[in-house]
Amino acid sequence: MDQVHEVFPLVVYQGKIDCHTELKEYTEDIKQYWFNGYENESPEYSGRILFHAKPEYEIFFDDLKRCVDKYFDKLSVDYTKLSYFVSKCWVGYHNKDIPQLNPHYHNESNISFVYYLKSSDLSDKFCVSQSSNINENTGGLFETSQQRNTIRGYNKYNCNFYTITPHEGSVLLFPSGVYHHTLEGKNRDERIVIAGDIKVTLRPEYINHHQGCTHPTQWLEL
């Protein structure tokens, strides 16, 4: 019997932020954390990366933790042994005058997240991508240009990127080392996201585990 073994799949978790309705009431306040002093500059490059230090939005991070628990549960990981630390968090603002995000990754964290505070199903799409496809065992095999068209269409086995339509109130969680970007949607109206990076360690009581990063309380700063 023919069978395809799908090995090493990438997991991008899409969950729901329960306090979304409450956060929507603070949309204009949250939007102020977007740095627009320089046109098209991201808060990541302007130092405005400490949104998580705002105590008034603690309710969001409580919901985010529950989503991270569910993410690890999908991976069959005992998340009760883990601690999560938001190392960076910023507000992203996009409209028709602001270019798409180019492919990039975050190499200083373990998990990254994007929460869609204001968006529509016609807004820009979220994409994860790879520079090459391990299934493309012959050069140019998966190209679809007129000169070199050897495939009938794209599917999950032969594509180099995957597109997700984010819904307002949803959050995406994915490995920080994965390339990701946005793809222009049909509607480029105002879109507001809260994005950030998470570091994952063992809880302090699991010091005897051979694998995993120890808790920051057990580190020594030199």
Of the pLDDT bands very low, low, confident and very high (cuts 50, 70, 90), residue 189 is confident
Which phi and psi angles does 72 have, rounded to 5°?
A: -70, -30
- In the chain the domains, ranked by start, together with CATH numbers, are 13-120+168-180+188-205 (2.60.120.620)
Range 78-90 burial, b when 16+ CB lie within 10 A, else e: ebeebbbebbbbb
Can you tell me the distance from the alpha carbon of 159 to that of 135, in angstroms, rounded to the nearest whole number? 9
Question: What's residue 32's pLDDT?
Answer: 81
Per-residue exposure over 3-31, b if at least 16 CB sit within 10 Å of its own CB, e if not? eeeeeeeeeebbbebeebeebeeeeeebe
- The confidence score (pLDDT) of residue 47 equals 62
3-state DSSP percent of the chain in helix, strand and coil, to 5: 20, 25, 50
DSSP secondary structure letter of residue 138: S
Give per-residue pLDDT as tens, 22-37: 999 999 889 888 755 4
86: tokens are 């938001």
Please return the burial class of 93, using the count of CB atoms within 10 Å of its CB with bins 0-12, 13-18 and 19+: buried
Q: Which two tokens stand for residue 101?
A: 């995000």
Is residue 48 scored above 90 in pLDDT? Answer: no
What is the reported pTM? 0.89
